[in-house]
Amino acid sequence: MLGKLIKYDLKSAAKLFILLHGIYLFICLTLRLIYVNRLDFNSPPELLITSIVLFSTIYIVLVSALALCTSLQIVFRFYRNLFSKEGYLSWTLPVSGVQHLWGKLLSGYILLAVDVIVITVGLLILVTGRNVTEAYSSVASVVTNELGMSVSTFGLIVFLFALAGCFSTVVMICFCIAVGQLFPGHRVLCAIAVYFITSFVVQIVSLVLMVLLGCFPGYTFYQAEGAAMADYMFRIFLLSGVLMFIVMIVQYIITHYIMKKKINLI
């Protein structure tokens, strides 16, 4: 039954998801042809930097909008299927609350993971042009020395970390909505408030741990000496990963309890 729940969620989200990500890849390909391939890295630095900054800003906005749309799909499906009027039908199925929860977690993770993969493919489309690779080859040794590893290796690590983080993101979405539905009069507002409060607390704890562990930017640990930057990034990734895992477990336990004991339909 769990497989059917996941299949149903993915099928329901497929049309809009495929459309948005198809548009994203088309935009990336178009930008590659009309902008990136024509980018002259021998032009005056002022013009080059301004052009790249403007292009990067547009791309970041595009990626942020795409990721937001994917997250909203997960939000709407979780809330509408289980806590709105549609929930009366969902809860009559021969499925436990835990199965409903895992169906949403796994289908949401698949959507976010594919989202990360497609975003990465779009980025590769943009940066693999001959002029970009030739320009990078002239500074590759310096960048590798500063990072302590090649850009491709560093990018792979970030990519894998992002994939791992997708599951915690879905858990947090489900947690916020599950807590928010406990307040019938202000469900959406409370869910948003829970999200921001949780994010704020996690950020504060992260900063405190960074200070205590001596890896806050500006500490002597962060020295641009060969692999030092890579060491710094690995420590940040490890700290973030451990904290993310702890928060995810706590949020899952609370959500699991709510799904079993505290369902409050409209």
For the chain, give the secondary structure using H, E and C: CHHHHHHHHHHHHHHHHHHHHHHHHHHHHHHHHHCHHHCCCCCCHHHHHHHHHHHHHHHHHHHHHHHHHHHHHHHHHHHHHHHCCCHHHHCCCCCCHHHHHHHHHHHHHHHHHHHHHHHHHHHHHHHCCHHHHHHHHCCHHHHHHHHCCCHHHHHHHHHHHHHHHHHHHHHHHHHHHHHHCCCHHHHHHHHHHHHHHHHHHHHHHHHHHHHHCCCCCCCCCCCCCCCHHHHHHHHHHHHHHHHHHHHHHHHHHHHHHHHHHCCCCC
What pLDDT score was predicted for residue 264? 61
Q: Among 71, 104, 138, where does a domain finish?
A: 138
Q: How confident is the model at residue 229 (pLDDT cuts 50, 70, 90)?
A: low
Q: What's the domain range around 213?
A: 147-266
231 and 116 belong to one structural domain: no
Mean pLDDT (the chain, rounded): 84
pLDDT (tens digit, 9 = 90+) per residue, 104-140? 999 999 999 999 999 999 999 998 888 888 878 877 7
126 and 157 belong to one structural domain: no
pLDDT (tens digit, 9 = 90+) per residue, 137-174? 877 787 777 777 788 888 888 899 899 899 999 999 99
Please determine, for residue 225, whether its predicted confidence score (pLDDT) is greater than 50: no
Q: Residue 265's CB: how many other CB atoms inside 10 A?
A: 14
Alpha-carbon distance of 58 to 181, in angstroms, equals: 36
12 and 130 belong to one structural domain: yes
Counting the structural domains of the chain, the total is 2
Query: In which residue are the tokens 């292009």 written?
Result: 55
What pLDDT score was predicted for residue 193? 92
1 and 128 belong to one structural domain: yes
| Nearest one of 171, 193, 179 to 247, comparing CA atoms | 171
Please determine, for residue 223, whether its predicted confidence score (pLDDT) is greater than 60: no
pLDDT (tens digit, 9 = 90+) per residue, 18-56? 999 999 999 999 999 888 888 877 777 777 788 888 888
Q: Among 80, 115, 138, where does a domain finish?
A: 138
pLDDT (tens digit, 9 = 90+) per residue, 63-120? 999 999 999 999 988 888 888 777 777 777 777 778 888 989 999 999 999 999 999 9
pTM, two decimal places: 0.85
Please determine, for residue 17, whether its predicted confidence score (pLDDT) is greater than 70: yes
22 and 133 belong to one structural domain: yes
**Stretch among 9-13, 82-86, 200-204, 237-241 having the lowest mean pLDDT:** 82-86
129 and 165 belong to one structural domain: no
pLDDT (tens digit, 9 = 90+) per residue, 188-199? 899 899 999 998
What pLDDT score was predicted for residue 105? 93
112 and 158 belong to one structural domain: no
173 and 121 belong to one structural domain: no
Q: How confident is the model at residue 227 (pLDDT cuts 50, 70, 90)?
A: very low
Q: Among 109, 138, 167, where does a domain finish?
A: 138
Q: How confident is the model at residue 222 (pLDDT cuts 50, 70, 90)?
A: very low
